[in-house]
Amino acid sequence: MQLIQQHKLNPYLRLLKWLLILAGIGLTCLLLIKDLYFYSWEEKKETIVYSIPMVFIFFLWLRYRLGEDRIFEHQLVLIDAVVVGLAAIRILGWLFHSGHVLFLLYTLRTTENKVYKWVSGLMLVFTLMLKFFYWGDFITPTIGAGMAIFFIWLRSVCENKLIEKTIEA
């Protein structure tokens, strides 16, 4: 069952994709300006290179996800929402996983667009290098990767069931 019938969104898809990119650029710039204005360099350097790019990557992912088939199937939307929620909850310091690794690895493996795969892959490598070599953190990225692998598997199972239903119908 689709939450929104995809063909009803098609006339607005091009505009919506551009609005997502503009929102990503706008919010990223606002966060960058806030960090540059309010914090000392020691407080902001990690945020600028590590956290703020994730805002743009999130909007970029949404843009490319809109172009995929079966994106409005309620099972797939639910899995995506849980992953985004678990990744975002790390901002509050809850749970003990890397939200960056969870989101980037999951979206890298479940998003079809090659441009997004390159961007998320590079950010994932950068994230892992920071975690391993700068912060000496091996635990949270391992847990985040394990969570991502579970959700990748779960999405694959759901997609296969949707394909089977389509073939049967």
Residue 158 lies in a domain: yes
Q: Model confidence over 20-66: pLDDT tens digits? A: 999 999 999 998 888 888 877 777 787 888 889 999 999 999 999 99
Q: How much is the pTM? A: 0.90
Compare 32 and 169 and report the one with higher pLDDT.
32
Residue 1 lies in a domain: no
Residue 94 lies in a domain: yes
Residue 134 lies in a domain: yes
Residue 133 lies in a domain: yes
Residue 62 lies in a domain: yes
Residue 153 lies in a domain: yes
Q: Model confidence over 1-22: pLDDT tens digits? A: 666 777 777 888 899 999 999 9
Q: How many CB atoms lie within 10 A of CB 39?
A: 13
> In the structure encoding, which two tokens stand for residue 118, read together?
């390159």
Our count of domains for the chain comes to: 1
Residue 114 lies in a domain: yes
- Residue range(s) defining the domain that contains residue 156: 6-168
